[in-house]
Each structure stands twice: as C-alpha cells, then as structure tokens.
C-alpha cells in the first residue's frame, strides 16, 4: 500500500484552504487543524508532509498570524497558489430567503458580504471559521439561520445554496503558500520564480535604505516588504521580503551580497515557481 501523503490546513472541512488543497493536491489527504500553530506543528512533527497557508488577501491585507509564525518557523516555502474567494449563502433544506433572519460567518467574510446582508435585513453573527459557520447552521437545523461559507461547505454539511457568489468585490483573492520541512528550491532557469527571505537590519542611520539599494541598482523587482518588531524592541526590526528571481541569478546574487553588509542575519525561506496568476 502506498504511503498516504497529507497536507495540513487551518479551518474546518469546506474552508477556502481546504478548497486550495483539493485543487492542487487532489490525491493527498487534507488534514484540518484548529489553528495556524497546529498546522505548523503538524508539518514540523511529521504528522503532515506539507501545509497550505493563506498569507495575503486582496481586501483584508496580510494574514497577521502567519507573518508572526513564518520568520521563526523551521519550514520552507515550496510553492504558491492564488484563489479567487467565493462565498455562497446557504441554509438547511426547506429554508429560503424569506425564512432566514440571521447569517453566520467569520468576521472578515461578513464584512466582505455586506450587500446581501443589508438587502435582506439579516442579523450578522460571528463564527470562528467560514466552514465552521456552515457546520453550526447544519447542526442547529433552524430555517431562520443561514451561513456565508465557501461553496464546498454546502455539500459537506448538507446545506442548500440560497444565493451564489454573494461577496461584494469580484477581485477578492487570497494568496496561499505551501510549506515543507525540507528546503526544495526551484531550479534556476525553470521559469518565473519568487524568492522569500527574512533579514534584520543593523541599528544604523539609513540602514534599510542602504540594505535595499542593491536590489534597485541590480534591477531586481521586490514584490513584498513587511516589517516586524523583534522581542518587543522598537529599535530592532525584522523584515520579510519577496523578490523575483533565483538567488543564483547574478543580479539577485549581487543584491543579496550587498544586503549582507547592512544586516545581522539573512535567512532564505524559499525559492519557488511564481503562480501564473501573477502574470494575469
């Protein structure tokens, strides 16, 4: 019997992270975890081979918890995927738009679906998870309750879809990264690549400006730069950055060498294929 390969995600079955796992790893067992910390622990401890983690959303911005865990983690990014976020309004069989009075979902999903909530005069109720909201509505069996959840959740929890694609913005998209225990950098020249790394700048005047200068002078495109406090100190700052290219490409290689002069630590987190969504 072949060994079952597992990919961990945060949330309940039917969550958007579960959808991405099914789309890109259809032959793998998707392992639901209660928290992001549990997802990281599942991969680090060998319970799962990979993790599927949301890192940015086009409306809500960065996923704060991930940007806390990622720099300190021992895991590496080996891929990325973008998912167009879709939400359906769903309820127990027999319910319809005239019977529902409350709508349950994660606070971000409720905020991203204000139009339908307002149109039907629904009372929003916050749940811990979008898919969990569907489960809670199914368990309650109350035709006055509805959930705003991903399409997959309706089939899993036996709910009927009352309205499709109820999100306010069509561009609502989440970027996910795939994490592994092993560094598996993509081969140089294998296509458009992204390199993610973290670094700490020295506590010197204009240190960040000087640290990033090498990327500009070498023509390296930086697509992300996020800052963090280190150990609660206002003077010690860590940055997570993403650039286009492979560390062995001469321009990026020179830029990273120059970065080292103005930092106390540079840690490569992964070099992986750029998702085709970036070119759209």
Which residues does the annotation mark as catalytic? 174, 176
**Which H or E element spans position 59?**
none
According to DSSP, residue 190 is labeled: S
**Minimal CA–CA distance to 246: which of 278, 213, 268, 214?**
268
**Minimal CA–CA distance to 211: which of 243, 183, 233?**
243
What lies within 8 Å, CB to CB, of 185 at 6+ separation is 246, 247, 270, 271, 272
Side-chain-facing half-sphere of 32: CA atoms under 13 Å: 12
Give ∠ CA 80-274-248 in degrees, rounded to 5: 115
């Amino acid at each position: 019997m072949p060994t079952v390969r597992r990919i961990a995600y945060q949330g309940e079955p039917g969550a958007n992270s579960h959808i991405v796992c099914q789309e890109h790893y259809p032959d793998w067992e998707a392992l639901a975890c209660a928290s992001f910390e549990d997802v990281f622990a599942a991969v680090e401890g060998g319970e799962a081979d990979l993790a599927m983690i949301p890192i940015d959303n086009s409306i809500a911005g960065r996923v704060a918890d991930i940007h806390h865990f990622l720099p300190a983690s021992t895991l590496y990014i080996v891929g990325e995927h973008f998912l167009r976020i879709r939400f359906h309004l769903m309820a127990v069989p027999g319910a319809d738009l005239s019977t529902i009075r409350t709508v349950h979902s994660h606070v971000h999903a409720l905020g991203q679906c204000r139009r339908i909530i307002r149109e039907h005069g629904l009372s929003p109720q916050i749940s811990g998870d979008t898919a969990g909201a569907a489960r809670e509505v199914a368990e309650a069996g109350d035709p006055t309750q509805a959930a705003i959840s991903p399409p997959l959740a309706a089939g899993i929890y036996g709910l009927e879809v009352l309205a499709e694609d109820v999100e306010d913005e069509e561009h609502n998209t989440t970027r996910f990264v795939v994490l592994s225990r092993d560094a598996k950098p993509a081969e140089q020249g294998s296509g458009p690549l992204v390199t993610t790394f973290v670094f700490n700048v020295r506590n010197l005047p204009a240190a960040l400006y000087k640290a990033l200068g090498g990327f500009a002078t070498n023509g390296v495109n930086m697509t992300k730069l996020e800052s963090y406090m280190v150990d609660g100190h206002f003077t010690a700052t860590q940055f997570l950055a993403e650039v286009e290219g492979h560390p062995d490409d001469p321009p990026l290689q020179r830029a990273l060498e120059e970065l080292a002069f103005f930092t106390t630590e540079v840690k490569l987190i992964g070099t992986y294929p750029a998702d085709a969504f970036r070119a759209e």
